[in-house]
Structures are given as C-alpha cells and as structure tokens.
C-alpha cells in the first residue's frame, strides 16, 4: 500500500525499484535504443538488463552504468550530496539560515 501526501508517494522498495526501471525504460525508448543496445553501451549482459526492466532488480554498480549511458549520473550525485533533511520540521526547513561572522562597525 502506498501513502500519498500531495505529490509525494512513499512506496515499498520493490515498487520504487519497478518504477525506476519503468522510467529508465521510457528514457531508453525515447532514444530509440533496444534493450540489447543499452545493455551493450552499459557493458551489461542483455539478460541482466532485460531482467532489470521487468523486475526492477539490479546491482547498484550496474544501475550506475545504466545511469551513465543515459546521461543521468548528475542525478545520482545530486541525490547523494544533497543536504539531509530527515528529522527537520517544516518550520526548520523554511527558517532562514543565520550566518555567523563579524558585523562591520560603523565609524562615528
């Protein structure tokens, strides 16, 4: 069962994996590539890639290769280098950040 809040959908890990596989399949199809062509470009065996699109199951290293071929590595980097917002309240998220430093004194 999925929990839906506004546009955010929290699903189980297998559902998330299948959704990711489906989205990557759509990107592959937009490029006009066959499963075999994408697999070859990513250095994967064709059955490995076919299995991924069907089930969403693949190793992280192989998934990164697929992202590389599709030009999506920046998306992974953005995901893993972004600020961790877990545990913050809405007030904390919208609160302006305070910067520490010296204030310049006015000359009298």
Q: What is the pLDDT of residue 4?
A: 43
pLDDT at 48 over 90: yes
pLDDT at 61 over 50: yes
Q: What is the pLDDT of residue 98?
A: 62
Q: For the domain with range 13-80, which CATH number is right: 1.10.260.40, 3.10.310.10, 1.20.1050.10, 3.90.1150.10?
A: 1.10.260.40
Q: What is the pTM of this model?
A: 0.68
Q: What is the pLDDT of residue 78?
A: 83
Q: What is the pLDDT of residue 57?
A: 97
Q: Where are the domains of the chain?
A: 13-80
Instruction: Give the residue among 66, 83, 78 at the shortest CA–CA distance from 31.
Output: 66
Q: What is the pLDDT of residue 1?
A: 43
CA dist 48 and 59 (Å) reads: 10
| Averaged pLDDT of the chain | 84
Instruction: Give the residue among 20, 105, 28, 32 at the shortest CA–CA distance from 63.
Output: 20
């Amino acid at each position: 069962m999925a929990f839906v809040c506004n546009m955010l959908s929290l699903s189980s890990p297998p559902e998330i994996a299948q959704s990711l596989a489906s989205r990557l399949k759509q990107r592959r199809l937009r490029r006009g590539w066959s499963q075999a062509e994408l697999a070859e470009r990513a250095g994967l065996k064709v059955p490995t890639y076919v299995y991924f699109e069907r089930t969403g199951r693949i190793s992280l290293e192989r998934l990164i290769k697929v992202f590389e071929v599709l030009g999506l590595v920046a998306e992974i980097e953005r995901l893993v280098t972004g600020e961790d917002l877990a545990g913050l309240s809405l007030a904390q998220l919208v609160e302006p950040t305070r910067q520490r430093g010296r204030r310049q004194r006015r000359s009298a």
